[in-house]
Amino acid sequence: MSAAWNFAARPFRDERPVFATVAVCMLAGLILLGANLHLYWKFSRQVVGTRRQIASLEERKSRAQKASEQARAALNGYQLSSLAEESAGLRAIVRERRFSWLVLLARLEKTLPPDVRLSRLSPHFGSPEAVDLDLSVLGKTGDSVVHALAALAKDPVFSNIELHGESSPDKGEPEGYTFTISMRYVPREAR
């Protein structure tokens, strides 16, 4: 059936309600399109602000991560240095505990001349392989100092021998000649 455009012919078709409905739908569509465009524009503006916030939060996050890594590295460095200090202290204690007094005293007894006797001995555990010793020694004669220094110099386990003080019986020392020696002792097992 073809639609005739003659509106005077019978049966008369009134298509105005269809056009009115189409016009109302078009108007509603335009209103909804305008509302959607307005919402899209509003959303775009909010998203731009949110993107800025996200970017600033990401930047803060990266700065916080760098700061935490630096703090962690500093803390690890501190822990390592404190562990190194503790281990150095523990090694010094182990060196002191492993130090053989019997071997040292037997060596001094063998090395020192018979007219000299030991009155004081104090070790200083500075280096891992050697021990610094301070000795106070009593001698019967003035030559005892020379004999003791010569005997210590001949022994290979003693080095850096220095005479620090000397006193004689005429200076108020009733037991004989007193002298103080400092030297380095390197035990054979440390060589």
Half-sphere exposure of 142 (CA within 13 A, CB side): 4
Last residue of a domain, one of 98, 122, 147: 98
Q: Are residues 140 and 91 in the same domain?
A: no
109 in the same domain as 36: no
**Token pair of 37, please?**
């465009």
| Same domain membership, residue 104 and residue 153 | yes
Q: Which of 80, 98, 116 is the last residue of a domain?
A: 98
Residue 5 lies in a domain: no
pLDDT tens-digit map of 100-109? 788 888 888 8
Q: Residue 161: which CATH number?
A: 3.30.1360.100
69 in the same domain as 114: no
> Do residues 158 and 141 both lie within one domain?
yes
What's the structural domain count of the chain?
2
Can you give the residue range of the structural domain that contains 90?
Answer: 13-98
143 in the same domain as 126: yes
Structure confidence at residue 9 (pLDDT)? 63
pLDDT in tens, 135-159: 888 888 878 888 888 888 898 888 8
Q: Which of 68, 98, 128 is the last residue of a domain?
A: 98
**Do residue 17 and residue 81 come from a single domain?**
yes
- The answer to whether the CB of 108 falls within 8 A of the CB of 158 is no
Cα dist. 12→3, 7, 8, 170, 171 in Å?
12, 6, 7, 158, 154
92 and 104 share one domain: no
Per-residue model confidence as pLDDT tens digits over 43-70: 888 888 888 888 899 999 999 999 999 9
Residues 71 and 127 in one domain: no
